[in-house]
Structure 1
C-alpha cells in the first residue's frame, strides 16, 4: 500500500513538472556594482537605478535568445568604493554566474576587480571609470562607456586656459586612482597650455576638514584650484575654501559634477566649473526622454551615471542577441563589433575597449542649477 501511494505521488509530481518546465524562463543575471553605502552612495544608487530601468524595460518587451524566453535579473552589489571589497564582490558575481557586469563605478575599484572578470571570461563595462589604466591592462573583458581622464583632464585644462583665462592653478587630489589620475592628466595639460602650477596637495576620499590646505592655497592666490575627487569631498572643499575667503574657481571632474554637489557646497557651488566624461544629458540623443522616464519611475532627478549604466545593460543584451546565446564567452566574443545607438549616442569601441567617439561636457552652477557651458567632441 505504501509503495503504491508513493508511486502515484511520483507520477503526479512528474505530470506537474512537465508543463512547468516547458514554460519556464531562462533566468540570466547581469551584475551591477557601485558604492551603495558611504559618502557617494547617492551616485552608486543613481547608476543602479539606470541599470534596473533597462532590465525592467527589456523584460517587459520580452527577450528571446536561442529560441528560449529569457528573463533578465539584475544582481546589484555594493563595493562601498573600496578596492578590497570590490574584488570580493567581483568574485561573488562570478560565483553567481552573471553573463556580464555593469561596473564598477570608481576607477580604484574597477581596476582591481577587472582581473577577476578577466580570469572568468566575463565582460565588464564600466559606466564611470575614467582612469586610462583600466583598459590598458591588455584584458579582452574591459570596456567603458565614458571618456578617459587622458581626454577629460586636457579638456578641463583647455577650458580653464582659453575660456576662463586661468594663468595659475593649485592642484588637490583625494589620493584615489580616479582623483590622482585625473589631477595628473590635468597637470600635464595645464602646463602645456601655459598655466603655471603653483602647488600640488593630497587629501583622502574620507576627509571632512580641508581648512589647512585651503589656507595654504589662499596664500598662493591662484586663479583656480583643480580638485581631483568625488562630490562628497569636492563639495565641502569648495565650501570651506569660500568660507576662508578663497575666490579662485574650483575645477573638478565628473565625480564632482553631480546634482548633489549643490547641497554639499552650498553657495560655493556657483564657484565650481566641472567636466563630465560624456555628452551632457540635454545633448544626448535620448537624454530628455530618459530623464522623463527616470524621474517618473524613481521620483527623483538623476545624478550623473544612470544613462551610462542603462546603455551598458542594453549593450550587453545587444551582444547576447548577436551571439544568439547567453554563454558569457559567446557574448564576450561579440563585444568588439558593438555598434549600439542608445541614450548616450552611438557606442563603438576601440580594440582596448574605450569609446571610439567620446565627448567631454563642461558645466557650471548658478543658483543651484547645473548649466552646460561647452561640449568638446573627442
Structure 2
C-alpha cells in the first residue's frame, strides 16, 4: 500500500537460509520509542520503525512494529551479527505525511540508526524519502505499492530510480491493479465496473492502473469518482453506481472508507461486490461494512497467503508465542523480511570491516545502504532480493474474498506481466 493523500557493493552477499528458531520475544508489543530484545552484547545498532501505531490504521501499523521487533530479538538471541546488539526505535506517523517527515528527521538525527522499516503509507514514504536518502539511512518498506516511489513520476514510460536508499519487499500497483482487472474481466466475466478512489497517492494510483488494464481488456468503466478519505456519507456514489448498471465497484483506498462504502452500497439496494487492494484486506474492513454487506467482497494483496507458506511457519509460531497484543496482520511477514534484510546488510558490512562496526556513523550508513542493494536470502515471504530500482523480485499476488464474515485463504494466487 499505501497512502494518506498522494547502492552498490562490489561483492554479492551470499546468505544462508533464514533461521527463525528461538525468537526470545515475550510480553506485549513495544511502546513507541526504543526497545531492545535479547542482547548479544557489543555495539548497539538501531533499526527504526515508522508506521501508524495509533489511529484508524493502527491494526496494520502495530503488526509492522511487532514483526520488526521479533526480527531484531531473533537476531540478538541467535547472535546473528557477532559483536552487535540490535535495538528497535519505533515512531508513530499516524498515517500523516507531515508527522512522517518529522519522524524521519528524528531518526536521521540519531547516529545509531542505520536503517528503518516502513512506512505503511505511500504518501508518508514520499515525505520521508529525501530525508533518509540525504543521510544514507536505508529505508525498507513492507507495504508501499505506488510505483513512483522506486521508478519516479514517469514510471510508465521512463522509469528512473529517484532515491538509492529506498527499497521495498512488496510488489507494486503496476502489477496489483492489472492483476485485479484481469481477475474481474477474465475470471468473474464482469464487463462494467464503477471505480472510486480516495484521491490519495495509493488509492488514486491503484484505481488508475486497475482502470487502464480493465479498459485495455475490453471492459467499461461506467462510473469514475473520487471521495474524501474522511467521507462518511456515500449516498451520491451509491446513486450513481445504482443507475449505471455497474456489476462491481472497484475502490482505491483503505478500509476506513471502503468498509462504510460497502455497507451503504448494499444498504442502498446495490448488491454488487466491492473490490479493493491490500488497503482493505483486514478484519476491520468486515467490522465496518458488517458481515452481511462484506460477504462476496474482494481484495488483492501482494504475495502468497502467509498462512500457506512453509517458510512462514516458524515466524507465525514465534509471533504467536511472543504474546504481542496485536496480530501480525497483512504486512507482518514482509516487515520481518524488511528488518532481516537490514540485519543482513549490517552483517555484510561488519564482516567486511574485520568483524567490527565502522567507527564513523556516516561511513557505516553508506556501507549498509550499499550492502542492502545486494541482499539475497530466503525469508518468511519467499526469496528476498532487490532489482536496480530497489523493488522486490517477488511479483506474486493473491485475490481474497470475504466468505461467512471472514477473509478466506485466497481464491487465486498468481502474477501479472511477470
Fold equivalence (TM over 0.5): yes
Give the match for residue 319 of structure 2: 294
Q: How far is 1:95 from its partner?
A: 0.8
When the two structures are superposed, what TM-score results if normalisation uses the length of structure 2?
0.81
Displacement of 1:265 in angstroms is: 1.5
Tell me, yes or no, if structure 1 residue 230 matches structure 2 residue 254. yes
Q: 5 Å matches for 1:356-367?
A: 356-367=393-404
CA gap 1:272/1:24 in 2 versus in 1, 3 angstroms: closer
**Which of 341, 346, 353 lines up with 1:320 in the alignment?**
346
Whether 1:337 and 2:363 are equivalent positions in the alignment is no
Match of 1:308 in 2: 334
Stretches of structure 1 lacking an aligned partner (at least 5 in a row): 1-22
* 1:168 maps to 2:192: yes
Alpha-carbon distance between aligned partners in 2 of 1:176 and 1:224, rounded to the nearest angstrom: 21
Shift of 1:285: 3.7
TM-score w.r.t. the length of structure 1 is 0.90
- Are the equivalent residues in 2 in contact too, given 1:285–1:345 (CA < 8 A)? no
Query: CA 1:96/1:134 → structure 2, altered by over 3 Å: closer, same or farther?
Result: same
Matching of residues 234-253 of structure 1 within 5 Å:
234-253=258-277
| Matching residue within 114, 117, 121 for 2:136 | 121
SS of equivalent to 2:294: helix
Give the superposition deviation at 1:211. 2.4
CA distance in 1, matches of 2:335, 2:41: 28
Say if 1:111 and 1:133, in contact at 8 Å, map to a contact too: no
**Cα 1:159–1:36 shift into 2, 3 Å:** same
Give the whole-Å Cα distance in 2 for the aligned partners of 1:28 and 1:56. Answer: 13
Give the structure with the higher percent helix.
1
Q: Work out which of the two has the higher radius of gyration on C-alpha atoms and give 1 or 2.
A: 1
1:26 is aligned to: 43
2:412 to 364, 374, 377: 374
- Cα distance between partner residues in 1 of 2:144 and 2:81: 31
1:129 is paired with a residue of what secondary structure? Answer: coil
- Output one character per residue of 1:332-354: Cα deviation in whole Å (capped at 9) or x when no partner: 11122111111000011110000
Q: Match for 1:100 among 115, 135, 147? A: 115
1:149 aligns with 2:166: no
Other structure's SS at 1:77 match:
strand
How many residues matched?
353
Aligned-residue RMSD, C-alpha: 1.6
Confirm or deny: 8 A CA contact 1:259 1:304 kept in the other structure.
no
- Residue 44 (1) aligns with residue 94 (2): no
**Residue number among 236, 243, 247 corresponding to 1:212 in the alignment:** 236
Counterpart Cα distance in 2 of 1:247 and 1:224: 9
Q: Structure 2: which 5+ residue stretches go unaligned?
A: 1-39, 153-161, 351-356, 359-363
Q: How does 1:62-73 map to 2 (within 5 A)?
A: 62-65=79-82, 69-73=83-87
> What is residue 14 of structure 1 aligned with on the other side?
none
Q: How far apart are the structure 1 equivalents of 2:326 and 2:128? A: 30
**Closer, same or farther in 2 for the Cα pair 1:63/1:354, shift >3 Å?**
same
1:284 deviates by 3.0
1:274-297 C-alpha deviation (Å, 9 max, x unpaired) = 100222213434223322322232
Measured in 2, the distance between the counterparts of 1:136 and 1:198 equals 30
User: Would you say the 8 A contact 2:137–2:369 is kept in 1?
Assistant: yes
Match for residue 210 of structure 2 among 186, 200, 210: 186
Give how far 1:233 is off: 1.3
Return the structure number with greater relative CO, CA threshold 8 A, min gap 6. 2
